[in-house]
Amino acid sequence: MSQRKTQSRLQVSFRDLRERGQKGLVIYLTAGDPSLEATGELLAAIDQGGADVIELGVPFSDPLADGPVIQRASERAVRGGATLAKVLERLPRWREKLNAPIVLFTYFNPVLQYGLENFGRDASRAGADGALIVDLTPEEAVEYTAVMRGHDLDTVFLASPTSTDERIQRVAAASAGFLYLVSRTGVTGERQSLSATVQPLVERARRFTDLPLAVGFGVSTPEQVRAVQSLADAAVVGSAVVHAIEERYPDGGAQVIGDLVRWLKGWDSGRC
């Protein structure tokens, strides 16, 4: 397996946050929702709103790990013709306006159909910084991980409250850039309160890796973001942003989504 010669944008982003004594905000959106043209505007607004990392979801017709909000976004994107190939084709233009690292978030089927080597090569050329394949386990990811590292792309994997210590070790060993901790069992979606499983999961993960720890699933308010950041290196917000795109983008445009990110970031104290 080839070794990266320089630090990745993800590594640099988390290093800079650490040096400033700050914690990160990771924002998810679905590419192609409400359209591929709008995605470029939304990415720029989210970046300017203060996202430290952006997870760009590549829509899939059967998003089993996602709750109804992101499922609906994926369905709209697929109906609109969004595909992995079209996302990678447009990503270089989107990337030009962004400072935040981009992690492609998708399922293994589109990647397998595209071809592992093709995916690694084209994702790297397009300006992606890594990928999170939500239904790919470390045991099945040896070839994928080798290809990605060969193209200087980080591989992010998931650990959950039900993961054993051995499992967390294995997931951490396969990860690069950061380790994604799922705050609760089940699918993505907004929640009223932060799960009590977050702290013990973070504490266990800390025993096995020095990678930055990002916590997502159910994080949707500034208060929940701060609570996660008090325990981990970053909070991930997805469904709340996708829900806002669904309900508020048609009237408010990309600016209203940028304002939401500022609110989550703590740059705007007014309720968004």
> Which positions are catalytic?
55, 66
First to last CA, the chain: 46
Please state the φ and ψ torsions of residue 60, each to the nearest 5 degrees: -135, 145
CB of 2 within 8 A of CB of 149?
yes
Handedness of CA 116, 150, 98, 220 (dihedral sign): positive
The DSSP code for 24 is E
- Can you say how many angstroms the Cα of residue 120 is from the centroid of all Cα atoms in its chain? 17
Strands (DSSP E) contained in the chain are 24-30, 53-57, 102-106, 130-133, 154-156, 158-159, 179-182, 213-216, 234-237
**Angle, vertex CA 10, rays to CA 5 and CA 11, nearest 5:** 55
For residues 190 and 240, give the distance between their C-alpha atoms in angstroms, rounded to a whole number.
6
Q: How many residues does the chain have?
A: 272
Contacts of 59 (CB under 8 A, 6+ apart): 30, 31, 32, 33, 73, 74, 75, 77, 78, 82, 83, 106
Residue whose structure tokens are 């089940």 = 186
